[in-house]
Amino acid sequence: MGDLKVVGKRVERVDVRAKVTGGALYAADVQLAGMLYGKIIRCYDYAHARVTSLDLSDAAECKGVIKVLGPKDVTQREYNASVLDMMVSADMRGVLGDIDDQSIFTDHLKHYGDAIAAVIATSEAAAERAAEKIRVTYEELPVYLTAEASKQPDALQFRPEKPGNRAFELPEMAFPGNVYAWGEVEESFSEADFIVEDTFYVSKQKQCQMEPGSYIALYDDQQRLNCWTSTQMPKLVQKKLANLFELPMTRVRINATVIGGGFGARLGMVLEPETCALAMAVPGRPVKLLSPREEDWLTSPSRHPGKYWMKMGFKKDGTPVACDAKFENYKGAYYVDASGTAFTTGAWLGGMYKFDSLRYRGESYYTNQSICGAFRGYGNPQTNFVMEQLVDRGCTQLGIDPIEWRKKWHKTVGDDGWCMGVPYNSCALDECLDRAAEAIGWTEKRAKYQNQTGVKRRGIGVAVMNHTSGAMPMLLEHTVCDVLLHQDATATINLACSDMGQGSHTTLRQVAAEVLDFDYDDVHIATGNTDAAGFDIGAHASRTLYVGGGAVKQACEDVRRQLFDRAALELEEDAANLYMEDKIIHVKGASNKSISVQTLADQGVNNFMNPENGELIGQPGQIQGYASFFPPHNAPPFGATIAEVEVDMETGEVKVLELVNAHDVGKAIHPGVVEGQLDGGAQQGLGMALTEETYFDEKGICLNNSFTDYKMFGPSDMPKMTNILVENPDPTGPFGAKGVGEAGIVPPVGATANAIFNAIGVQILEAPITPEKILKALEEKANVS
C-alpha cells in the first residue's frame, strides 16, 4: 500500500471542536423567521383503542393557535417510515411483502403514545397549552403485547393483508419452506451425539441517542417542501417525503443537520411526515417540532424483542452438525423493518459457524408495543445472546475450551458469509481470539475459576461475531460523490453521507486526502443538502466508510486521472510516465520537467489566451471528479470479546471487571475513530446483556420511556477495557478498510452472558441478565440439585 500520509493517522476529527464547544448546530438550534411550533396530541391512556370522538374546538380558540389538525386534515396516504422498500427492486418488494401501514394521525391507536391530532401555534408554550384542551373519547380495545398473544386466532387483526397478525415470515419464493437454510437439518440432527436446545428472550433495547427528535419543515414560496432533520438517510427521506406528499423530488429538500447520535433510531423517517404535514397546512411558515425525550422514546424504533428458540447438535468431538432456530419478534404497532431484522437475525447466525446443516425461521408479529426497527447490529446482538450461550453450553458439557472450539469451527475465507453465495474474502478471527485470550489471561483465569466457593465468584467468557460492510447483495448499495477541485489546489467533496457521530466525515476526508495526495486540511467534506448531493443510500449497515469511502476514492482517482492527463499534455509526456509528489507532477527520471497541481487547477478555472500567439494557456475547464459507486462486496468484519465478571451469589449482582475486544477491521483509517466505535458499542452491548429493557404494564402503558427508569451503563459502570485492532486488509475496502460501526456492540453481549455462566454454572435465558433473574436461577438450581 506504500507509505500512507493521512490514512491510518489520528487526525483531528472534523466535528470535534464544534461539538465540544457547543457550536454544533442541531435541528433544535435552527431558528427561522416567522417560526411556528407544532405539538402532537398522543394517547397516553391506552395502548390499543379507537377514537370515538375528537373535539378540537376549544384548542382552536386558544391564544396563539394558528391551526388545529385532526386525522382528516392531513394527507390520507399511508406510509412506511422505514426505507427497506427503497433498497430492493420492485419485484423483491412484492416478494418481501413490505406494506405502508402508518398514517400521520389515526383514530385506531395501536400503541402507547400513538398520534391523534396536532396543534400549530406561535410558541411552543401556546401549542402545549392548546393541546391540553383537545377532548378525546376512546373505545378501549384488547391489548396484545407479545407474538404469543397477537397470533391467537381470536385476536383483533392489525391489518387485513397480514392475517394472524403475522407481519412477516421469510417468503416462500425467496426462502423455500419459509426458512433460511442449508443441508438437511433433521438428518444432521440424527447424526448428533449431543443436543443443546432452549428458548431465550431478547429484550427491547433502545438506542438512547443523546439528541431527542427535532424537526423543522417549511413549504416555501416556490412550493418546495424543506425539512431540517438529523436523519441518517437524507436522500431516502427526500424520496419518502416526495412520495408521501406527491411531489417531484426536485421540490423536496432535506437539510441534514448535525446528528446527535443515531444507532439506527434516525434510520428512515421518524417524525418528518408529521412535521411536513403541519408545514403543508401553513404554507410559507416554518413549523418546528421538538420531541421531549419521553415522546422520542415511543415514536422512534427500538431493537426487536421476542422469543428466540435455538437447537444445536454436536458430535462427541465437538463437530457442529446441525443448528435449528426460530426468532419470533414482537414487532410493535407498525410494519417498519418487519422483514429486514427478521431475516438478518438468521443471516448472522448462518454466517458464523460451519454446521453441516442449518435452518432458521424469522417471523414478525404485530403487537401493541412501540415500533421496532433499526438498531446498531440489526439482529446480530439478539443472535449473539442466544447462539453464543448455546455454543458455550455445548462446549462445557463436551469439555472443550470455548476459544479452541470457535477457532476450529468458525467460518472463514471461502465459506459463505451471512448471505449465502457471497463467500468471505478476508477473515482474521483466529488472530482476534488469540490476541484477546493473551491480553486477558484466558487460560489461567479459565482454570482458576473452576470449582469456586464463596460469595463473590468470578467468571470469564468469550463470544465472536461476523457482521457486514454495507448490505449488498441483499440491499442496494450506492453512493454518488462529486469532487470539486478549486483553483488553489484544494478540494471540496460533495456527497450525502451523514456522520452520526461515528466519525465518517473524518475518515472520508482522510481517504480523499490520501488519494488526491493532498494534506488533510486541503479537503472539505460537504454534506447536508439534498439539492446538491447525488444519491446515497444513507448511514446503515456499517457502510459509510466502506461504500461512501469507495465512492470518495473513485471520484478522487477521477480527479487524479484528469490532472495527469493535463500534465501529460503540458509536459508532452505519456501520463504513465508521470508521478505526483507534494502536489507537483513530475516526469519520471527528469527532475527538471514538472508542473504543479495548483497551476493545472488554476489554468482550468482562470483560462486566458496568450496575447502574443493567441493560444490558450494551459487546459481549460475546472476539474471535477465523479463517481457513482456500487461496491463489489460486503467485506464482513469479524470480532471477538472476552469478558470477565464477578457475581455476588447472595444478591445476584454482576460486576463487569474487564472487557477485551479484538476486531478484524481490515484497515483502521483512523484508529481513534475505530476505538471510539468499539468503546461505544461495548457500552451498549453490556447494557443489552445486563440492564436495558423497555417495560410495559399489562395494559401496554410503557413504564420506562425515560432515563429515570431505563438504565444504561454509565461511566462508573464501565469495566477496564482494551481494544485490539487486527489489521488484515480486505481486498475490496478503501485501503483495506471494513465497516466497524456495529461490530463493537455484538460480542460483548454473548461474552458477558458466557462469563456469568462460567462464574455461576447457570445460564440466564432472558436478557437483560438482572440480579433478580440470577438469584431466581441460582435458587432453582439449588432446588434441583
Partner 1 sequence: MTSRVMQDFNLLLPETVPEALGLLASHKDKATILAGGTDLLVALKFDYAIDNVISLALISGLDELAFDPLLGLTIGAKVTIADIVKSEEVKQHYPALWQSAVIFATPQLRNTATVVGNILRASPAGDCSLALYALGGKVTLESTSGRRDVYLDDFWLSYGVTARQDDELAIAVTVPPPGQGQKSAFRRMTRVTEDLSKINAAVCLQMDGNKCVAARVAMGCVGPTLVRLINVEKSLEGEEITTDLLQAISDTVASDINPIDDIRSSAEYRLKVAGVLVKRVINLALNGGSDQ
Query: Residue numbers of the site for partner 1 (CB under 8 A)?
Result: 42, 44, 124-125, 128-129, 290, 292-295, 455, 650-653, 691, 695, 703-704, 706, 708-709, 711-714, 716-717, 770-772, 775-776
What is the nearest approach in angstroms of partner 1 to the Cβ of residue 50? 20
Q: How long is the chain?
A: 785
Name the residue nearer to partner 1 (CB basis): 624 or 770: 770
Nine-digit cell string for 628: 457513482
Name the residue nearer to partner 1 (CB basis): 125 or 616: 125
Q: Are 280 and 224 in contact (CB under 8 A)?
A: no
- The label of the residue with cell 456527497 reads 495
Nine-digit cell string for 655: 460486576
Name the residue nearer to partner 1 (CB basis): 85 or 294: 294
Q: 479, 501, 482, 499: which is closest to 491 by C-alpha?
A: 482
Name the residue nearer to partner 1 (CB basis): 86 or 769: 769
Q: Are 538 and 48 in contact (CB under 8 A)?
A: no
What is the nearest approach in angstroms of partner 1 to the Cβ of residue 255? 22
Name the residue nearer to partner 1 (CB basis): 123 or 622: 123
Distance from C-alpha of 670 to C-alpha of 684, rounded to nearest angstrom:
22
Distance from C-alpha of 559 to C-alpha of 569, rounded to nearest angstrom:
16
What is the nearest approach in angstroms of partner 1 to the Cβ of residue 477? 38
Q: Are 629 and 547 in contact (CB under 8 A)?
A: yes
Please spell the DSSP secondary structure of 744-759, one letter per residue: GGHHHHHHHHHHHHHH
Name the residue nearer to partner 1 (CB basis): 131 or 464: 131
Q: Which residues contact 646 (CB under 8 A, 6 or more apart)?
A: 456, 457, 458, 459, 654, 655, 657, 759
Q: Cα-atom radius of gyration of the chain, to the nearest Å?
A: 28
What is the nearest approach in angstroms of partner 1 to the Cβ of residue 453? 14
What is the nearest approach in angstroms of partner 1 to the Cβ of residue 125? 4
Helices (H) and strands (E) in the chain, counts: 20, 27
Name the residue nearer to partner 1 (CB basis): 565 or 653: 653
What is the nearest approach in angstroms of partner 1 to the Cβ of residue 692? 10
What is the nearest approach in angstroms of partner 1 to the Cβ of residue 52? 21
Name the residue nearer to partner 1 (CB basis): 569 or 775: 775
Name the residue nearer to partner 1 (CB basis): 137 or 706: 706
Phi/psi of residue 113, nearest 5 degrees? 95, 10
Burial 90-122 (b: 16+ CB within 10 A, else e): eebbeebebbebbbbbbbebbbbbbbbbbbbbb
Name the residue nearer to partner 1 (CB basis): 517 or 693: 693
What is the nearest approach in angstroms of partner 1 to the Cβ of residue 261? 19
What is the nearest approach in angstroms of partner 1 to the Cβ of residue 702? 10
Distance from C-alpha of 98 to C-alpha of 337, rounded to nearest angstrom:
8
What is the nearest approach in angstroms of partner 1 to the Cβ of residue 747? 21
Q: Per DSSP, what are the bridge partners of residue 766?
A: 201
Phi/psi of residue 130, nearest 5 degrees? -70, -40
Q: Are 273 and 241 in contact (CB under 8 A)?
A: yes
